[in-house]
Each structure stands twice: as C-alpha cells, then as structure tokens.
Amino acid sequence: MTIAAAISAFALVITALVVIRPGPIGDWLGSRSHPTLLFESPEPQPTPVLTGVTEDAPLPDAEAVRSVLDQAIAGTVMRGVRMSVLDLATGQPLYVREPDVPTVPASTTKLLTAAAVLATRGPAYRIPTRAVAGATPGEVVLVGGGDPTLAIDDNGH
C-alpha cells in the first residue's frame, strides 16, 4: 500500500467516524439525535373560521341586499344578469332581478350535481370544506367541495 493510499484510507475512516458520530466522537461533538426540549409545545386548537347563524343574529335586510347588488351591477357588463337571493333560514326572496325572463342556468352541471347529491344524501348532508392558510400571508384557501353556505353547525361541521 502506498503512502497516498494509506492517508486516503485513514482520512476516509476519520470522516466516517465524524459523520456517524459513534462513541466518544459523538460525545465530543454533541449528539444531534436527542435534542433537549425547553418546554412542551402545546397542541394547536382549531378555531372556527366561520360560525353558523345564531338565533339573535340580525335578519337579512332585503333593502340593504337590493342596494348593494344594484350598485354592484349598475354600469358594468353584468347589466343583463338575472338572479335570486334567498334567505337561507326562511327561503324567502331577499332580491330578485328579472325573474320572469327565461334564462339558461349558469351551470347545468351544478344543477345536476346538486340534484344527485340531494337524491342520494338528503338535504341535511354537508360536504366537508376546510379553510386553510395559503402560501401568501393573509391568503385563505378553501379545500374540498364544500357546503356552499360555508356555515358551521352545532357539531362544528
């Protein structure tokens, strides 16, 4: 064995000992396998992003809804839009725009999907939806197919 080969072999063994850190070398360099915790991190508790409507919540004001929507639609390409806004609790219309004009639904697929879900799951079923933090600070991302009302019931769903 040449001197260069012996030095290379010795350097390889020393490098392996330093990387693997067995025995006294690990004590000299300090072990990385068991860090000391100064305190236990508390388990994060989820908090509701949106809460359900409470009994003492203010009732929707049809005039306020009309004012906001008319103002949003005025002077835009949405002038020909037709819509209905219903109170989720009562089913009563809060805003109706051109209800007697025949209109193709915004998405027939959505209507068929909704009918299929209602037929198979029933009206009480809610598809889980989660709101999570996005990549940018302040960004919220909805995950899943979710409840279009984004409401939380008494069970946190």
pLDDT one-digit tens code per residue, 36-53:
666 677 777 777 666 667
Asked whether residue 92 is assigned to any structural domain, the reply reads yes
* CA–CA dist 131, 133 (Å, integer): 7
Domain membership of residue 2 as a residue range: 1-30
How many domains does the chain divide into?
A: 2
- The mean pLDDT value of the chain amounts to 76
Specify which residues 133 forms β-bridges with.
140
Asked whether residue 15 is assigned to any structural domain, the reply reads yes
What pLDDT score does 22 carry? 56
Asked whether residue 123 is assigned to any structural domain, the reply reads no
Do residues 59 and 26 share a domain? Answer: no
Asked whether residue 46 is assigned to any structural domain, the reply reads no
Helix (H) or strand (E) run with residue 156 in it: none
Asked whether residue 129 is assigned to any structural domain, the reply reads no
Asked whether residue 154 is assigned to any structural domain, the reply reads no
Q: For residue 103, is pLDDT > 70?
A: yes
Do residues 60 and 99 share a domain? Answer: yes
Q: For residue 6, is pLDDT > 80?
A: no
Which residue, among 135, 149, 40, 26, has the nearest Cα to 86 in the 3D structure?
149
Backbone φ and ψ for 60, nearest 5 degrees, come out as -60, 140
